[in-house]
């Protein structure tokens, strides 16, 4: 009798355990997939593509996803690859497809129209139809590059002034409004702290030719530039290379990095770097933020998110070994003014 009672008591426990095992697979979260399509600069451009990929990987790490399985990338070697690569990921039904850069605008519009149920993110641009209406399945992340570039200009001007120099330079990739907004902020920052300083300006014509980037840097350094702010993607690596080579020969010249902290890219000897500071555009945050929202069912399709100084979307690195404490303090003062709205930074260069 006792054994029968014991058996009856055990039955509910067995049933509960059995139910728990059956319910377990339903409680498991669905894997979330993200595909990044690079522009022609490639995944290791030490700039825009690499920074975006780092954001995707940070998202994967936080969500315990697998790199190469759940998150992956396709490299573009020419603009003609953009649409096929976007389409390839869409055909795989990736949960989110990310494309960094305004050069993707046309391909993104075509892909988003062809795959209306696919979620896309374009970084540093806004995709709209012929009537100017945002596309419902495309999230847009843009940056107040002019604000962060003002700080880079202030740092360059203050460094040049402190060291008795009177010329700085700017090397852009392609002369589009977006890249010109960096130039505009940089010029205003220099003028704010050192009005007498001369600013040299050149454009590479692309974002991939590091050789031409270095040649333009050599030209500007030869004309007296002490600091050059490069906003040229892979081509900008040539500017950093020229600064490194000159510093190695005791000809002290500086480069300012872009998009991510490029201090380590400027190291030439004994941990010394030719990168004065960097204007960080937090493309990694944009990629991670939108991927997280999409995974949580809050994909911001059809909207534009602005990353500025106010929300830490742009700015200089937290540590700047090549800037004095006094320069850092002065630059921070300008950052505070911009955040407070008491200092407005123009988005386009002044016509000269």
Domains of the chain: 34-143+284-307 (3.40.50.2300), 145-280+322-340 (3.40.50.2300)
Q: How confident is the model at residue 184 (pLDDT cuts 50, 70, 90)?
A: very high
> What pLDDT, on the 0 to 100 scale, is given for residue 161?
98
Token pair in block for residue 307: 């990353």
Q: How far apart are CA 311 and CA 307, in angstroms?
A: 6
**Is 213:171 a contact under the CB 8 Å cutoff?**
yes
pLDDT: which is higher, 198 or 26: 198
Q: How far apart are the first and last CA of the chain?
A: 103
pLDDT at 4: 40
Stretch 217-240: mean pLDDT, rounded?
97
Residue 268 and residue 296 in contact, taking contact as beta carbons nearer than 8 Å: no
Stretch 61-90: mean pLDDT, rounded? 97
> pLDDT tens-digit profile of 260-273?
899 999 999 888 99
pTM beyond 0.85: no
Largest CA distance in the chain: 103
- Of the pLDDT bands very low, low, confident and very high (cuts 50, 70, 90), residue 1 is very low
Q: Place 31 in a pLDDT band, splitting at 50, 70 and 90.
A: confident
Average pLDDT over residues 220-234: 96
Cα separations in angstroms, 171 against 8, 222, 227, 312: 82, 14, 11, 25
**Chain segment 76-128, per-residue pLDDT in tens:** 999 999 999 999 999 999 999 999 988 999 999 999 999 999 999 999 999 99
Instruction: Report DSSP state, residue 119.
Output: -
Residue 314 pLDDT greater than 50, yes or no: yes
SS3 content of the chain, % helix, strand, coil (to 5): 45, 20, 35
For residue 23, pLDDT beyond 60: no
Six-digit token string for 313:
């979307």
What are the distances in angstroms from CA 281 to CA 28, 124, 231, 272, 314? Answer: 36, 10, 11, 24, 5
pLDDT, position 30: 62
Which residues, at least 6 apart from 322, have a Cβ–Cβ distance to it below 8 Å? 254, 273, 275, 276, 277
Q: How many residues does the chain have?
A: 352
Tell me how far apart the alpha carbons of residues 173 and 153 are, in angstroms, rounded to a whole number.
18
Above 70 in pLDDT, residue 19? no
Phi and psi based region of residue 322 (left: phi greater than 0; alpha: psi -120 to 50; beta: remaining): alpha
The answer to whether the CB of 210 falls within 8 A of the CB of 238 is: yes
Distance CA 35, CA 197 (A): 45
Distance between CA atoms of residues 169 and 227, nearest Å: 6
């Amino acid at each position: 009798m006792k054994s029968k009672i014991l058996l009856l008591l055990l039955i509910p426990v067995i049933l509960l355990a059995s139910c728990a095992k059956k319910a377990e697979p339903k409680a498991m979260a669905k894997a979330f997939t993200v595909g990044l399509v690079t522009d022609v600069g490639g995944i290791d451009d030490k700039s825009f593509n690499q920074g975006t990929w780092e954001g995707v990987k940070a998202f994967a790490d936080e969500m315990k996803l697998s790199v190469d399985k759940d998150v992956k990338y396709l490299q573009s070697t020419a603009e003609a690859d953009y649409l096929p690569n976007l389409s390839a990921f869409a055909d795989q039904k990736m949960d989110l497809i990310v494309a960094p850069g305004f050069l993707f605008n046309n391909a993104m519009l075509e892909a988003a129209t062809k795959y209306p149920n696919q979620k896309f993110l374009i970084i540093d641009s806004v995709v709209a139809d012929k009537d100017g209406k945002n596309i419902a399945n495309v999230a847009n992340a843009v940056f107040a590059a002019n604000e962060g570039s003002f700080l880079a200009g202030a740092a360059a001007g203050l460094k040049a002034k402190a060291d008795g120099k009177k010329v700085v330079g700017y090397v852009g990739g392609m002369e589009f409004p977006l890249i010109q907004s960096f130039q505009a902020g940089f010029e205003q920052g220099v003028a704010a702290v050192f009005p007498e300083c001369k600013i040299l300006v050149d454009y590479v014509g692309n974002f991939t030719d590091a050789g031409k980037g270095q040649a333009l840097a050599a030209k500007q350094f030869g004309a007296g530039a002490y600091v050059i702010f490069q906003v040229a993607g892979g081509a900008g690596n040539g500017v950093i290379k020229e600064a490194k080579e000159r510093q190695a020969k005791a000809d002290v010249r500086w480069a300012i990095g872009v998009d991510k902290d490029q201090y380590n890219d400027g190291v030439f000897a004994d941990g010394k770097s030719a990168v004065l500071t960097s204007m960080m555009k937090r493309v990694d945050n944009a990629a991670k933020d939108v991927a997280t929202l999409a995974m949580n069912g809050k994909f911001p399709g059809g909207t534009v998110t602005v990353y500025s100084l106010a929300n830490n979307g742009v700015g200089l690195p937290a540590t700047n070994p090549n800037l004095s404490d006094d320069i850092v303090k002065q630059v921070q003062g300008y950052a505070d003014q911009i955040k407070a709205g008491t200092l407005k930074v123009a988005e386009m260069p002044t016509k000269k």
